[in-house]
């Protein structure tokens, strides 16, 4: 290799591990960064087979993820790029970068995202409880206090008991939206059907469920969002609609996923979700926007309400 000296000098300046491999996958050259990644001195590697440090040799000339073998026996996650050495037929340059820090950073980011999701759920719980349940219980306490020693106290206490019962139902509704379906790990269809089963007990009737498209093509992230939206919507129907019939359909299209939930209840009374379903519908809207989609709250025919939740399938 006439130009080998110049190439070796160039490779020494590269801030990653570089090895040049000849015929038979024998190492012809290794730069000084080999010691930091695989624990070998460059001179010790020359003449050895590439498998000593890269047991699973990449076979394509592009960057890829792999594993390097440290001299001490442990594996090191790496990113590998291969390219032919110009002017030397059969020789290949392998550039190897330690990916340990990148993987650690990715894991930390994933853990941080999970913590943010938990905090977001906690914030939603606090808002739900404060806006509905706590205020209802506080009002019930005031009624009880005002009812003391009044001739109509029996009727007043009965009304307060009704308020407390309603608060209990709302608490159960909040728990329903937060509870993770037991079948979520078995696939989207199983999780949807489990949520329908749970909603039936809360609604007093069993919603119908129609599924269209290939559900297994829906990502796990989007599947979790669909289940969460279904549960939010079911709680909203139970709390506000006074419905006797609820229909749910999910269509997985080429580009979009559409979830439609219809009921025959009291319908929209103020056009805005803030006025009809409170935080439940607001949460549904926010989930759609976060995924690049939209939610529509439409009057039902001949009565009731229809929710259309449409998001890109790529999510």
Choose between 258 and 236: higher pLDDT.
Answer: 258
Each as own residue / partner, the long-range contacts of residues 5-14 (CB below 8 Å, 24 or more positions apart, any chain) are: 7/85, 11/93, 14/95
pLDDT tens digits, one per residue of 253-295: 989 999 999 999 988 764 344 444 455 688 899 889 999 999 9
pLDDT tens for 70-117 read: 999 899 999 888 888 776 667 888 889 888 888 888 877 777 777 667
d(CA 85, CA 92): 5
Q: Which of 141, 169, 171, 170 is nearest to 157 (CA)?
A: 141
Q: What is the pLDDT of residue 151?
A: 67
pLDDT of residue 152: 67
Residue 215 in contact with residue 157, Cβ under 8 Å?
no
SS3 of residue 78 by DSSP: strand
Burial of 45 (0-12, 13-18, 19+ CB in 10 A): buried
The answer to whether 31 touches 46, Cβ cutoff 8 Å, is no
Whether residue 300 has pLDDT greater than 60: yes
Q: Does the model's pTM come out above 0.85?
A: no
The pLDDT tens digits of the residues spanning 36-63 come to 999 999 999 999 999 899 988 766 544 5
Q: Which pLDDT does position 101 carry in this prediction?
A: 85
| 27-30 and 92-98 strand pairing | unpaired
CA angle, residues 63, 68, 72, in degrees to nearest 5: 165
Average pLDDT (192-215) is 89
> Distance (Å, rounded) from C-alpha 310 to C-alpha 249?
12
DSSP codes of every residue in 216-251: GGS-HHHHHHHHHHHHHHHHHIIIII--S-EEEEEE
Query: How confident is the model at residue 173, as a pLDDT?
Result: 59
Residue 226 has pLDDT above 50, yes or no: yes
Task: Give the tens place of pLDDT for each residue, 133-150.
Answer: 666 676 776 666 666 666
When mean pLDDT is compared across 33-37, 130-134, 222-226, the lowest value belongs to: 130-134
CA distances from 174 to 65, 231, 253, 278 (A): 44, 10, 31, 13
Q: Are strands 246-252 and 208-212 parallel, antiparallel or unpaired?
A: parallel
Helices and strands (DSSP H and E) totals, the chain: 10, 10
Return mean pLDDT, the chain: 79
């Amino acid at each position: 290799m006439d130009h080998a000296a110049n190439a070796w000098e160039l490779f020494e300046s590269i801030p990653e591990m570089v090895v040049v491999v000849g015929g038979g996958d024998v190492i012809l050259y290794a730069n000084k960064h080999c010691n930091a990644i695989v624990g070998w001195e460059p001179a010790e590697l020359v003449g050895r087979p590439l498998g000593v440090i890269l047991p699973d040799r990449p076979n394509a000339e592009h960057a890829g993820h792999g594993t390097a073998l440290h001299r001490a026996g442990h594996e090191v996650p790496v990113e590998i790029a291969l390219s032919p050495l110009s002017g030397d037929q059969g020789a290949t340059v392998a550039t190897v970068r330690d990916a340990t820090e990148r993987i650690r950073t990715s894991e930390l980011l994933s853990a941080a995202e999970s913590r943010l999701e938990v905090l977001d759920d906690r914030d939603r719980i606090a808002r739900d409880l404060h806006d509905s349940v706590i205020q209802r219980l506080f009002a019930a306490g005031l009624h009880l206090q005002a009812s003391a020693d009044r001739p109509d106290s029996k009727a007043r206490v009965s009304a307060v008991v009704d308020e407390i019962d309603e608060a209990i139902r709302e608490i159960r509704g909040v728990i329903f939206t937060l509870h993770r379906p037991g079948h979520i790990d078995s696939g989207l269809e199983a999780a949807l059907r489990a949520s329908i089963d749970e909603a039936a007990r809360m609604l007093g009737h069993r919603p119908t469920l129609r599924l269209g498209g290939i559900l297994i093509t829906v990502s796990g992230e989007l599947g979790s969002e669909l289940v969460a939206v279904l549960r939010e919507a079911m709680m909203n129907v139970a709390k506000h609609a006074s419905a006797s019939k609820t229909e749910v359909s999910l269509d997985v299209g080429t580009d979009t996923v559409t979830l439609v939930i219809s009921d025959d209840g009291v319908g929209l009374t103020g056009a805005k979700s803030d006025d009809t379903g409170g935080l439940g519908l607001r949460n549904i809207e926010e989930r759609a926007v976060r995924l690049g989609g939209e939610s529509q709250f439409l009057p039902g025919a001949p009565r009731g309400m229809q929710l259309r939740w449409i998001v890109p399938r790529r999510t």
